[in-house]
Structure 1
Amino acid sequence: MRGADGTRQRLPTGRWLGLAGVGDRRADHALTHCCDGPTVDLGCGPGRLVAALMQRGVLALGVDISPTAVAITRFRGAPALRRDLFGPLPGAGRWSYALLADGNIGIGGDPQRILRRTADLLAPDGLAIVEFGRPGTGSVTRQIRLESRSHIGSWFPWASVGIDHADQLARTTGFRILSTADVGGRHIAWLRRHRATEAVTVR
């Protein structure tokens, strides 16, 4: 991933494909363990979380704009749609859980917009499970593009949000934080749409 300022960062493709170490497996478990009802994975990538949920018997759907990501998810035997997250999606207003893993709070370069869209998709008491950046990284929007040895993609906006900004972001988008956790160096927050007081236990 190359930023418009010239900075480069190697992407965790192994994690995305499910070829992760113990720490990443623990974090993936934390992202999904409380999901016991219909779950939509926004920006599902190659579909490792959707597949894990389906293996547990949980109704789940992946959504991604990338045809390659959707094809890999389906190859795993998990359902996925190639759609713009901000366009029409099935089950709007009825999903029990929505996942924004792997920094997908940054989709479109506007964290408030993606969280408001997530709220639209969730049932009134729905839970958003969001992976943030590490503390101290701030809240930054920039132009990035994806590069490989054989291909250079187009520029697009992307945001990164540190976990220490999660509470403010939640409050401005109609959520409240139930719990946060650092699992294997990945930072996860559980956000409820209404004034629930229960906490989420990470196992």
Structure 2
Amino acid sequence: MSTVSIPLQSGRERAAEDRPWSADPYAHALSNGRGPLFLRRTDGWLLPLDVERWCADADAADLEVLRRCEGAVLDVGCGPGRLVAALGRQGRRVLGIDVSEAAVARTVRRLGSPPPAAGREAGDGPVLLRSVFEPLPDEGHWGTALLFDGNIGIGGDPRALLDRVAQLLARHGLLIAETVPDLDVDERVQVQVTDARGALGHPFRWARLGTPALLRHAERAGWCAVDEWAVGGRSFVALRRRNLTGHARRFEPPRHGASRLDPQGPVRPAGTERAVSANPEGHSAF
């Protein structure tokens, strides 16, 4: 079990390095709404990317998770906007951010919104072309932040990303992150986006985390797990920042209950809070 060690970067450097997502072949796949598309590690290992699902409407698993959102929602790495659109249909205030011009353009087409400018603020539209590590509207006031579809890996430094999300959320804000299902993966690597033709994007830093690894990073960064569950073959964790007394506000499920779409998954009862135990070991292959 090993992890590639990569030097730490400033927020500005991380924001600049996000830009490979704006280039082909990623932009080409999003424009067409289909893959195949992969993340390619330096040793040639390929991770398939679910472009068709990203470009489709939110599915039952997405909607099961979205009903847990509280207050205004920030979708970090919104991609082609399926979650932004779903939340908008629910009447929620939502802002999607992404560094990919193709992703933002597809979100705009999906929503029928006017094209966003790089400096647009939250009140001007539901999507913004910007990195999470750049200044964002309403910092410190978001009720929920979403890191779906592997976006806990943004920047290749989970601690830095968790710290940044903490700055964006309100004091008792909720972070919902999707993790690698069924594996204790804790990997920080350099990758490139590639397609079936072998076209390669620029290399950039990325991370992959299973639930145990995310909980370890979260504990060190001052977060508490308030729920964890699986649905539709996918795994999720809900986190809050610990307050001055060392506790996080308990998770409150929606009034209509906390039914699960995947009863076979490892489910923690809604409303359960626990501090995360730190364990520096357990790194796994990508």
Please say if 1:28 is aligned against 2:76: no
CA-CA distance at 1:36 after TM superposition:
4.2
User: What whole-Å deviation, never above 9, does each CA across 1:156-180 have from its counterpart, x for those lacking one?
Assistant: 1110001122322221122111111
- Paired residues in the alignment total 199
The farther-off stretch of 9-18 and 153-162 is: 9-18
2:41 aligned partner, one-letter code: G
Please say if 1:53 is aligned against 2:87: yes
Please say if 1:37 is aligned against 2:37: no
CA distance in 2, matches of 1:135, 1:116: 25
TM-score by length of 2: 0.66
CA-CA distance at 1:115 after TM superposition:
1.0
- After TM superposition, the runs of 4+ consecutive aligned structure 1 residues lying more than 4 A away are none
Give ranges in structure 1 of 5+ residues lacking alignment: none
8 Å CA contact retained: 1:140, 1:160: yes
The farther-off stretch of 69-78 and 122-131 is: 69-78
8 Å CA contact retained: 2:190, 2:205: yes
User: What whole-Å deviation, never above 9, does each CA across 1:88-108 have from its counterpart, x for those lacking one?
Assistant: 000100000000000100001
More strand by share: 1
Please say if 1:96 is aligned against 2:115: no
User: In 2 relative to 1, CA 19–198 (structure 1 residues): closer, same or farther, beyond 3 Å?
Assistant: closer
8 Å CA contact retained: 2:70, 2:174: no
Please state whether the residue corresponding to 1:146 is helix, strand or coil: strand
8 Å CA contact retained: 1:39, 1:98: yes
Partner residue, 1:173: 221
Percentage identity across paired residues of the two chains: 41
CA distance in 2, matches of 1:76, 1:175: 34
CA distance in 2, matches of 1:112, 1:63: 20
Matches within 5 A, 1:75-114: 75-77=109-111, 79-114=126-161
Structure having the higher Rg = 2
Q: CA RMSD in A?
A: 1.7
CA-CA distance at 1:60 after TM superposition:
0.2
TM-score by length of 1: 0.92
Give ranges in structure 2 of 5+ residues lacking alignment: 1-38, 114-125, 243-247, 261-286
